[in-house]
Structure formats: C-alpha cells, structure tokens
Amino acid sequence: MAKIIKINHIAIAVPDLENSVTFWQDQLGLSVDHIEEVPSQKSKVAFLPTGDSEVEIVCPTTPDSGMAKYIEKRGPGLHHICFEVDNIDEMLAELKAKGVMLIDETAKELPGRKMAFIHPKSANGVLVELYEVTRS
C-alpha cells in the first residue's frame, strides 16, 4: 500500500507575488529559496522552506487559470495542501478503488516529480495534491 511521507508544501494563492512575499519573508522571517515560473500551472511561485516542508506563494500568470478564478471568487488565501507519497501511481489506483474523486486519474510527469490532484468534493472541501519525487 502506498504511503504518505510528509506535507511537501502548503500553497497560498495571491494576486501579486512581490507584495505578498513581504509578509512571509520580511515580517514573519521565512526565507525565499527561489522564485520560479511554472508554465504547466500558469503561475509564478515563491518557495519558502520551513522544517521538512515548504510554504509556496503562488500567483497566477494568466486570468483564465483555475487559481486566478479562485482568487477572483474567494480572495487570496490558503489554496491547497500537497502530500509527498512514496508511490503516486499505486496511491491513485488505491484511491480510485476506494471511490475517491480524482481530478487527475493518472499522474502528470514533470522533471523530477509526478503529481496529481484529488477533488475537494472527496476531501472535506480541501484541494489535495499528491507528489512523488522522481529525481534520483
């Protein structure tokens, strides 16, 4: 049976990356490790490691992305929680067999990682991302 290893990251949706990072870095004292454009997610992301997890401040780069619509509807705030798993393909098959609604029935392969989202309807309103590190 596939297992969750840890919280990989918590994503916070914001409309303006530079202004938003001020709170997390200059006021709260976390450090931005790097900022990256993620074209597959139509977003720009600041990564702030803490403990064995990360806070990700995510800003949509196009107004038609899911996150842009989320911010328009609900305002900025907590967007999703991502769990790192030891075997994402096995985990997705097990969740499907248990009747869990998946946004991605198969994992998307990106450099160094595989990822998939569980539908909030199956997860108490929470958007849950699963993530497997594949770089060796």
Based on the shown chain and the rule CB under 8 A, indicate whether residue 119 belongs to the binding site for a copy of itself. Answer: no
Question: From the list 3, 69, 108, 119, which residue makes contact with a copy of itself (rule: CB under 8 A)?
Answer: 3
Give the separation between CA 37 and CA 89, rounded to whole angstroms. 26
Question: From the list 33, 78, 106, 119, which residue makes contact with a copy of itself (rule: CB under 8 A)?
Answer: 78
* Residue 84 φ then ψ, to 5°: -85, 135
Give the separation between CA 135 and CA 128, rounded to whole angstroms. 22
Return the sign of the alpha-carbon dihedral for residues 123, 109, 69, 23: positive
Based on the shown chain and the rule CB under 8 A, indicate whether residue 5 belongs to the binding site for a copy of itself. Answer: yes
Question: From the list 45, 68, 95, 116, which residue makes contact with a copy of itself (rule: CB under 8 A)?
Answer: 95
Based on the shown chain and the rule CB under 8 A, indicate whether residue 128 belongs to the binding site for a copy of itself. Answer: yes
Question: What is the nearest approach in angstroms of a copy of itself to the Cβ of residue 96?
Answer: 10
Q: Which is nearer to a copy of itself, 26 or 64 (CB)?
A: 26
Comparing CA positions, the residue from 61, 64, 98, 57 lying closest to residue 80 is: 57
Q: Please name the residues in contact with 70: beta carbons below 8 A apart, sequence gap of 6 or more.
A: 13, 79
Give the separation between CA 86 and CA 90, rounded to whole angstroms. 9
Based on the shown chain and the rule CB under 8 A, indicate whether residue 86 belongs to the binding site for a copy of itself. Answer: no
Based on the shown chain and the rule CB under 8 A, indicate whether residue 64 belongs to the binding site for a copy of itself. Answer: no
Which amino acid does the sequence have at 83? F
Site of interaction with a copy of itself (CB under 8 A): 1-7, 10, 12, 14, 20, 23, 26-30, 50-53, 55, 57, 74-81, 83-84, 95, 98, 100, 120, 122-126, 128
